[in-house]
Structure 1
Amino acid sequence: MNKKNILIIIYFLLMIPLKSMAQSAVNQTTNPDPVTKIEQQQVIDSISLLLNKSYIFPEVAKKMGDYILSNFKNGSYTTITNPTLFSEKLTADLQSISKDKHIQVRFNPAFIKELRESNKNPSHEELPVSLLEKWKINNYGFKEVKILDGNIGYLDLRSFGDTSFGGETAVAAMNFLSNANALIIDLRKNGGGSSEMIQLIISYLFDSEPVHLNNFYYRPTDSNTQTWTLPYVSGKRMPNVDVYVLTSKRTFSAAEEFSYDLKNLHRATIIGEVTGGGANPGGDEIATDRFTIFVPFGRAINPITKTNWEGTGVQPDIEVPADDALFTAQIKALEKLAAKESKNSNKKYSWLLTSLKAKQYPLVLKTKESENYIGKFGPRIIIYENGNLYYQPDAIRKFKMLPLEKDIFDLEDNMIRVEFKKVNNKISGITVVNVNGTTESFNKD
């Protein structure tokens, strides 16, 4: 299999979980010609041939081909003239037999034409321009890289792009995160991609001693392959940093492999929802001039479990709704970091843990309640503007106050708290508390 074919496979792996791919086909051809009965017959015959030739489970391939042919003869597709709807119906019928979510029939004439043009010169490893541009626009899957409070690294990875194009971006991202005290990798919107990118990123999470990640069996060549961590990476490794991987129902294919590998190697805590359940890699085949089918021709075989996540998905270690996964991971990371704080330290992580929990379920003060805190406290002033309280330590600076509980506030983006003192239920002063334990007290003027 040449490099071009491998990259095309990666492209379609990235697209599998997105139903919009089928819908976008309408935009590729303005007012497409309706699908005729003759074309339906051609598509079905071609799909059956391709499945029987390469699908990872031969007996299932035959059942799928027989099923759609029977449906055709029985008139199940007679009223379907829209080519996109026809492709979606074939996909649903094939998946009803195989239960394989990787199998996708698409109405894709523009891409087929572009792909054939790029294949005219077999001596060149050229790829369709639209494909390369799409990868670049999406930054090869790297959506966001940042450091959260507590020096927790965060990577929002939307796909595993090919390392030939996205390798430099991956290296830059991992080096940016290399000084983090914990690492969160967000795969909640990741639909899959390249196993080489999985290999590269995971290699940063282990030392230089190679670790066996996964095995694959490929039916067309009757061959087996193995993937291991790399003995060399550019930059700093993070073998001792706690890793948290976020998942959702949309997490699919290569993103599941990434989660499954780390879970079974006990290298990461998986947090979120059970994933989509697609473990059979493959490639997109041209069925006719207007239709393609993604044919899974491989099967993942984990070296530890001796099986994979096909049809079952990856079970998270901590199962929570996808929307709550990031918050849960931050809490777990801060709890673990706080547990390591010495008695003589400033308890930074414990402080951040309290603040984070308060932000997740914020205390909402009524206007009248907030106005009770307004006043001058020695050189410090507290004001109320646009629905928020602000702390002014001097004439220049102003910090938003976030209520932790009644009479106790965090200062936004500062490791400082303001605690209000009361006498006879009336505010008499404030104590300004720093994370290092120092305090300052001021009476209300």
Structure 2
Amino acid sequence: MNIRIIISVLFFTAILPADGLLCAQSAPTDSLFVKPGDLSNLIFQLKTIIEKNYFDKEKAASLNKILTEKFANGDFKNLSPEHTTEKITQLLRKETNDIHFKVTHFSTKAANNQQQNQAADNGGIAEIRKLKNNIGYLKWTEFRAGPDAFKKTVQALERLKGSRALIIDISNNAGGNGEAGGFMNDHLYQSKDYQQLLVKKCNGETRWHQSEVPYNNTEGPRFYKTPVYIITSKNTFSAAEYFAFIAQETGRAVILGDTTAGAGNPGQGVAFMRGGSDIGFFIFVPTCQIQTKAGKSIEAIGVIPDILLTSGDWLEETINIIGSTSAKGPGTKQSTP
């Protein structure tokens, strides 16, 4: 079987694609239906990747049995690429209760989109500004890590230095590299105890170990005593969820908005294409579990906000909530995990 493996990328939530949780987006194709050869290859590759990489081997065996039966019964036959990948994605999520499972497709004939993402250019930070009453606002849309991204993060924090309170908006953040959360946290927490909150166990491992990436950098301003307010929504995924989760569990920030997606298990993304085909597939399979030392997980649950935002303007609503608090306000207490 002539298969071209396009990419194989590890994404780790909080400490993560991931992921840009799911960087491979569905693209239009010229075929109305997935061709039999492409469908057969998709199921074969999916079963192979699940068997090899999914952290729960018992569920992996069960999934592969179900996929084999449904393929044999023609459940995925004569479907569009969009319908095929969505149907498989929903099946995997239903059987495992794991939101991070994802199957998408792409086409070699699709337009080559090389447009630069503004958030990517700014280390994943889309907007920084000072609001009324000296409230700092940071809109964070992607968790990007590395020297260039961290430099942009420090520059953003410099602009917010001296703020009375800090709003970090991750309501449209699909996650990404969890090291970004660790780097940001180093500027928010005076104590490093928060790094011990989460533990992780990955495929093939028998013991839980520390999940949070430790940082002890000296660059950038510190906000140890600044009240922090984090805005979340159902569009907050993966590593971004753990950023909010740590802040909530330690009492460092007030979480506002709506419950997050509940995509807590980090994983691995693989893209592949059958030789001679014009359609390829991207599969994201969870490879690890993350929870608190007490066993609390956000998988399929999400982070439930301390304050539910209900207006049409969440930012203005958050500003009003901050204004109704005392001068010190909430979000400065840092409890020990």
**Band the TM-score falls in, shorter-chain normalisation:** 0.7 to 0.9
* Conservation of the 8 A alpha-carbon contact between 2:176 and 2:238: yes
Corresponding residue of 1:55: 54
Which amino acid is the alignment partner of residue 307 of structure 2?
A: I
- For residues 284-303 of structure 1, the aligned pairs below 5 Å read 284-289=269-274, 290-303=280-293
Which amino acid is the alignment partner of residue 65 of structure 2?
A: D
Task: Give distance in 2, aligned partners of 1:21 and 1:241.
Answer: 38
User: What is the root-mean-square deviation of aligned Cα atoms in Å?
Assistant: 2.9
Specify whether residues 32 and 135 from structure 1 end up closer, same or farther in structure 2 by C-alpha distance, changes over 3 A only. farther
Task: Give distance in 2, aligned partners of 1:222 and 1:266.
Answer: 31
- For residues 250-289 of structure 1, the aligned pairs below 5 Å read 250-289=235-274
* Conservation of the 8 A alpha-carbon contact between 1:282 and 1:295: yes
* Conservation of the 8 A alpha-carbon contact between 1:242 and 1:333: no
* Conservation of the 8 A alpha-carbon contact between 1:7 and 1:162: no
Instruction: Please say if 1:334 is aligned against 2:334.
Output: no
* Conservation of the 8 A alpha-carbon contact between 2:17 and 2:267: no
Corresponding residue of 1:84: 82
Corresponding residue of 1:108: 106
Which amino acid is the alignment partner of residue 174 of structure 1?
A: L
Largest Rg, 1 or 2: 1
Task: Give distance in 2, aligned partners of 1:33 and 1:164.
Answer: 44
- Equivalent residue pairs, number: 311
Which amino acid is the alignment partner of residue 285 of structure 2?
A: V
Q: Percent identity?
A: 26
Task: Give distance in 2, aligned partners of 1:8 and 1:254.
Answer: 7
CA-to-aligned-CA distance 1:280-322 (integer Å, 9 cap, x gap): 001212354311210110111224x432200111011112237
Between Structure 1 and Structure 2, which shows a larger proportion of helix residues?
1
Instruction: Please say if 1:192 is aligned against 2:159.
Output: no
Corresponding residue of 2:218: 233
- What stretches of structure 1 of length at least 5 have no aligned partner? 115-128, 341-445
* Conservation of the 8 A alpha-carbon contact between 1:188 and 1:322: no
CA-to-aligned-CA distance 1:14-67 (integer Å, 9 cap, x gap): 243x9x922xx21xx5x2584222332221122112111111222222222222
Give, in angstroms, the shift of residue 208 of structure 1: 6.2
Worse-matched range after superposition: 152-161 or 219-228: 219-228
SS in 2 for 1:277: coil
CA-to-aligned-CA distance 1:384-432 (integer Å, 9 cap, x gap): xxxxxxxxxxxxxxxxxxxxxxxxxxxxxxxxxxxxxxxxxxxxxxxxx
TM-score, length-scaled by structure 1: 0.63
SS in 2 for 1:13: coil
* Conservation of the 8 A alpha-carbon contact between 2:46 and 2:283: yes
Instruction: Please say if 1:21 is aligned against 2:10.
Output: no
* Conservation of the 8 A alpha-carbon contact between 2:9 and 2:269: no
Corresponding residue of 1:426: none
Task: Give distance in 2, aligned partners of 1:315 and 1:90.
Answer: 28
Task: Give distance in 1, aligned partners of 2:301 and 2:98.
Answer: 11
Corresponding residue of 2:334: none
Corresponding residue of 1:308: 297
- What stretches of structure 2 of length at least 5 have no aligned partner? 1-7, 275-279, 330-337
Task: Give distance in 2, aligned partners of 1:329 and 1:154.
Answer: 11
* Conservation of the 8 A alpha-carbon contact between 2:211 and 2:290: no
Specify whether residues 216 and 145 from structure 1 end up closer, same or farther in structure 2 by C-alpha distance, changes over 3 A only. same
Instruction: Please say if 1:180 is aligned against 2:184.
Output: no
TM-score, length-scaled by structure 2: 0.82
Specify whether residues 86 and 177 from structure 1 end up closer, same or farther in structure 2 by C-alpha distance, changes over 3 A only. same
* Conservation of the 8 A alpha-carbon contact between 1:283 and 1:294: yes
